[in-house]
Chains A and B, each alone.
Chain A
Amino acid sequence: MIIGVTIVAFGVNFLAGDPTLVILGGEPRGMTREDIDDFRHEMGFDRPVIVQYLDWLGSAVQGDFGTSYRYRESNTAVIRDRLPNTLKLAGVSLILSLIIAIPLGVLAAIKKGTFWDRFSLVIALIGQSVPSFWLGLMLIMIVAVKFGLVPVSGTGGIEYMILPVITLTSFSIARNMRMVRSSMLEVLGEDYIRTAKSKGLKNSVVLRRHALRNALIPVVTLIGLDMGALLGGTIITETIFAWPGMGWLTLQAIQGKDLPLVQACVTLMATIFVLINLIVDFAYSVLDPRVRLS
């Protein structure tokens, strides 16, 4: 799996054909064929592709992702500065999303067909339809510029995080809420819930001990998916709010055709995502004995 990811990340180099010409920006004037060939040799692009890949992979495994063209610094160092910022943003968003989505989803399921259900469905629909970057811009315009409640962009204390987190988390709150609702509804229809109720257990006990526990199992999978969406979402969110994290770094690297840095960022993000999903799969089998047995 991770090997596949690295192949794709490495392939970025060759999407436009000859990486030498991409870096030099077409056929630059004042450079003879020989100059270009020298440069190509210096960069190692004249070796067979498989050798280049293995060479790159070999160093990558040892934590060496090469040197960024733009920062003239090792990619590992550049990323090490930015990664904590992104993890902070994505982590807070993930937790917030679960804290908000689970109670609302459960509420919507218990009170199916009432005002609360409709209310949460409408919120979910809007949350899934409003593009996050527009939401971010509107928040900046209204909350930061007009009322001056929080800073427009940058990093610092907690007040800098409020708007980026709202922007990043809106979509996942909406999606998680719907998932929790449908999963809860499904569980509430099961026989064991009826049994529990007919035993004379209190409603709250049935909900907490029997329904919620089972309904939250699929939600664990969501955390994995969410992490992917959040990591991708940081590209836009960080750019809007000038948040110095991986997402913004990646975008700048892509725009500046800083190929080694792009490869490093892509590989790292995808690896994080794959690892989180592995952990989720593992957690799944711990939480749900049925998965273990089958």
Chain B
Amino acid sequence: MNKRKKKHKKHDWLRDLRENKAALVSVIVLGIIVFFAVFAPLLTTQDPNYTNLRVRLLPPVPFEGSNPEHLLGTDSVGRDVASRLIYGARISLMVGFIAVVISGLIGVALGLITGYFGGWVDDVIMRLADIQLAFPFILLMLAVLAVVGPGLWNVILVLGVTGWVAYSRIVRGCVMSLREKEFVEAARAIGASNQRIIIKHLIPNIIGPVVVIASFSVSRTIIAEASLSFLGLGVDVETATWGKMLSEGRLYISDAWWLTTLPGICLALTVLCINVFGDWLRDVVDPKSVER
């Protein structure tokens, strides 16, 4: 999402990116991961869920006993690890992006309302935010998922709905200071409605910090989804996800190192790249405004 948006931005952003080697590398790696995720059916030769017990627990290619048909080896029921990893990328990215869009929309809307109008609505919503922060995040999600049941959309919804607090707080803070600025006063003086002030004057000014928080939220959401899958309460049983591969591989930790190592590397690499990119984005947008 961020990557595509950036390409349309002004030219000096691109030059900035070329100067920051770490950010550039992470954007390229992210691009590759997104490419794999989008074109998963074309890039894999095996169905990620096809089991074949005759080729179970094959190691990755350069190691003894490997099979060139399974470049990254197979798992305990003979499923191809490479295809599962590629399909797993789909789930991780999809959950990450959709959940962040949901929480971003909720969070920004609530932040605008509380920051601009204040009053009792502000009190109630901010108190809600405090309560939500008081709950260990993962505990809340586990409790909710345990009762609504696992499933891709349930996970996305739970992650999306629970992630709004960070946005609201930042947006609220920004709006409260923007509200007092001259240009808002001027807009009000010439008779602009609240709706117009919010859309035309406030939103363009908060977009920067929001995009920065969103980029960090994507990585946090991806980890959260993997943790949930790892604990057995994530996306349903059939789908290949990195977190589930890790929890299945955990049983074979002493004989099949690749089952726990490879999905973890994918996960850590994705998250690392998003974080590096987010750091860079924060420096570009505004070095002081957003604390992590």
Contacts and interface: CB of A to CB of B under 8 A. Distances in A.
Nearest to B271: A129
B292 to A, nearest CB: 7
Interface stretch (B70-78, B93-101, B256-264): B256-264
Contacts of B230: 133, 236
B264 A131 contact: yes
Nearest to B130: A1
Interface in B21-70: none
Interface in A132-164: 133-134, 137-138, 140-141, 145
Contacts of B142: 235, 250-251, 254
Contacts of A4: 127-128, 130-131, 134
A1 B134 contact: yes
Contacts of B246: 133-134, 137
B136 A134 contact: no
Given A145-B254, A254-B143, A137 B260 contact: yes
A215 to B, nearest CB: 15
Given A15-B147, A134-B268, A232-B138, A251 B219 contact: no
A229 to B, nearest CB: 8
B14 interface: no
Contacts of B253: 137, 140-141, 145
B268 A1 contact: no
A137 B264 contact: yes
A180 interface: no
Contact of B271 (A131, A182, A228, A250): A131
A133 B260 CA distance: 11
A214 interface: no
Contact of B292 (A145, A178, A228): A178
Contacts of A240: 250
Interface stretch (A32-40, A100-108, A267-275): A267-275
B173 to A, nearest CB: 16
Given A131-B226, A137-B253, A235-B142, A5 B261 contact: no
Contacts of A270: 134-136
A257 interface: yes
Interface residues of A, number: 46
Contacts of A131: 223, 226-227, 264, 267-268, 271
Contacts of A232: 136-139
B284 interface: no
B272 interface: yes
A129 B268 contact: yes
B237 interface: no
Contacts of B292: 175, 178
A150 to B, nearest CB: 15
A126 interface: yes
B136 A269 contact: yes
B139 A235 contact: yes
Nearest to A229: B136
Contacts of A16: 147-148
Nearest to B141: A232
Most buried by B among A1, A130, A229, A236: A130
Interface in A269-294: 269-270, 273-274, 277
B3 to A, nearest CB: 18
Interface string A240-274: 10000000001100110100001001100110011
Contact of A12 (B138, B147, B226, B263): B147
A8 interface: yes
B207 interface: no
A129 B271 CA distance: 5
A96 interface: no
A128 interface: yes
B232 interface: yes
B130 to A, nearest CB: 6
Given A15-B148, A235-B142, A228 B136 contact: yes
Interface of B: 127-128, 130-131, 133-140, 142-144, 146-148, 219, 223, 226-227, 230-233, 246, 249-250, 253-254, 257, 260-261, 263-264, 267-268, 271-272, 275-276, 279, 291-292
7 contacts: A129-B219, A133-B226, A134-B246, A138-B264, A141-B261, A233-B138, A251-B142
Given A133-B227, A134-B263, 9 more contacts: A4-B130, A15-B143, A138-B264, A141-B253, A175-B292, A228-B136, A231-B139, A235-B139, A236-B138
